[in-house]
Structure 1
Amino acid sequence: MANILVVQDVEENILEMKLSLEQSGHNLFVSHSVDSAITLLNATSFDLLICAVYLKSSNVFDLLKFVKSDPERRHLTFVFFCCSPKDIAEYASRTIRNTAIILGANKYITHAEFDAIRFRTEIESLLPDAKQTISNKL
């Protein structure tokens, strides 16, 4: 199973992600800020990073730039996740999504309401073992 770093500061979203992914046996490590995420990245090896599109105390693009500029970490799959976006977030979504992709994010996922099965399927399709399984089938 995978080691997944979740960078999120909304407890309800953290709980939903944990319930969804731990069901499949994945190990989730939770960080509430960019600084603590960097500390975890320096201490542990991860298969995937899921970051909230917005954090109250941090600039999420700083974390993306940190990961993608480091030769030892740039291979790490980086996913932005937005759940139940407010009106202003929906308005800014296209710009944020485009910026994320330009800076190196692998995926940008939005759920109007959290869907555990859809979330797990989207995340597991991005894990290294899933990519190998897909390419072996081709």
Structure 2
Amino acid sequence: MVRILYVEDNDDNIYMLQTRLERQGFDVLIARDGASCIEIANAEHPDLILMDLGLPVMDGWEAARRLKSDDATRHIPVIALSAHAMSTDRTQALEAGCDDYDVKPVELARLLRKIRALLPPEGAP
């Protein structure tokens, strides 16, 4: 089963997206800040990370930079999620090491296409 680490600090967003992804056949792990994301990514080796950018403790940009600078986690695809839809936000996320970017509120069909594009074909449900 494909494991996705969803990094989000808003309980409503967690409930909504976690439920929808699990219905699609994904196993979803949760981190509530960037520091926890790095710990969980190193311990659990998820197949993909969905990263909110505005996080407590360590923001998503810094967490992405750290993940991508570490040999143990650099291979994990990261999709940034943000309520900010400005082109500069997308650019900053990609410069921090994120592999893709999507806006909130999440449009599930669009996000699933992005997830499946970053996973090996045999891995995506």
For the residue of structure 2 that corresponds to 1:104, the secondary structure is coil
Q: Give the match for residue 115 of structure 1.
A: 107
Q: Does 1:128 align with 2:120?
A: yes
Provide the C-alpha distance between the structure 2 equivalents of 1:16 and 1:10, rounded to a whole number of angstroms.
10
Report the CA distance shift for 1:72/1:114 in structure 2 as closer, same or farther (over 3 A).
closer
Conserved 8 A contact 2:50-2:80: yes
Within 1, Cα distance between the matches of 2:2 and 2:102?
A: 19
**Equivalenced residues, count:** 124
**Aligned position for 1:4:** 4
- Equivalent pairs: percent with the same residue? 26
- Which residues of 2 match residues 1-138 of structure 1 at below 5 A? 1-82=1-82, 85=83, 89-90=84-85, 93-111=86-104, 113-129=105-121
Report the Cα offset of residue 31 of structure 1.
0.5
Q: What stretches of structure 2 of length at least 5 have no aligned partner?
A: none
- Which aligned runs of 4 or more in structure 1 are off by greater than 4 angstroms? none
Where structure 1 has 5 or more consecutive residues not aligned to the other structure, the ranges are 133-138
Q: Measure the CA separation in 2 of the matches of 1:72 and 1:42.
A: 7
TM-score, normalised to structure 2's length? Answer: 0.85
Decide which structure has the larger Cα Rg and report it: 1
Higher helix share: 1
